[in-house]
A = this chain, B = another copy of it.
Amino acid sequence: MQIKRLGSAIIVSGPSGVGKSTVCGKVRSRMPELKFSISCTTRQPREGEVDGVHYYFISKDEFEKRIANNEFIEYARVFDNIYGTLAGEVIGRVKAGEDVFLDIDVQGALQIQAAAEQNELLKKVCEFVMLAPPSLEILEQRLRSRASDSAEQIEMRLAKARSELSFYKKYNYVVINDDLETAAADVESIIRSQRSRTDHLPEDFLQ
């Protein structure tokens, strides 16, 4: 007998230099069953990229039509291309009981929060996790240790990071990335704990 619960959408973001990709990669290797959300993009597929696996590759016209149709919970224009996440992608998966993982920047996460405010199901299933450095000083050290960046670039990144971190109260969870294994285990416990949420249970779970 399997109880059919709603899955969760776990949105992880954090400023440049916080180690988001590394933590998300570690979470992925700890939880191989976890599905990553598949984004739409207007850019051309690269060698080896498969439609519906790496991205949904759609035309610019199609993308703009869907933006106008309010189908994206977040999107961003990057140079000549657009990238975004369809509401239907997240809703379909959580309804099927799957957990969806979104590794996304702070601007995207704030867009998803705004979308979730308008949709009861998204509101119930979206959990926002901010990855934060142990201190701003440590973040600064990490950014400065990237030899490739100029002093000016570092200042800009740091200012942006400060500004992004200032939104932390809009997130349900703040995970401090002091130690990689601990941070990944913290994110894993957040994802796993959502599976026991009362409001993810079907009404008739106890018959």
**Which residues of A approach B to under 8 Å, CB–CB?**
1, 3, 129-130, 132-136, 165, 168-169, 171-176, 185-186, 188-190, 192-193, 195-198, 201, 205-207
Contact = CB atoms under 8 A, between A and B. Distances in A.
7 contacts: A132-B205, A168-B201, A173-B193, A173-B196, A174-B198, A188-B189, A192-B193
B1 A196 contact: no
Contacts of A130: 198
Contacts of A190: 193, 196
Contacts of A169: 198
Contact of A135 (B1, B133, B195): B1
Contacts of A189: 188-189, 192-193, 196
A173 B197 contact: yes
Contact of A197 (B172, B192, B196): B172
Given A1-B134, A136-B206, A165-B206, A171 B192 contact: no
A66 B3 CA distance: 44
B206 A135 contact: yes
A136 B56 CA distance: 44
A186 B188 CA distance: 11
A-B residue pairs, 3 tightest by C-beta? A189-B192, A193-B193, A173-B196
Nearest to A169: B198
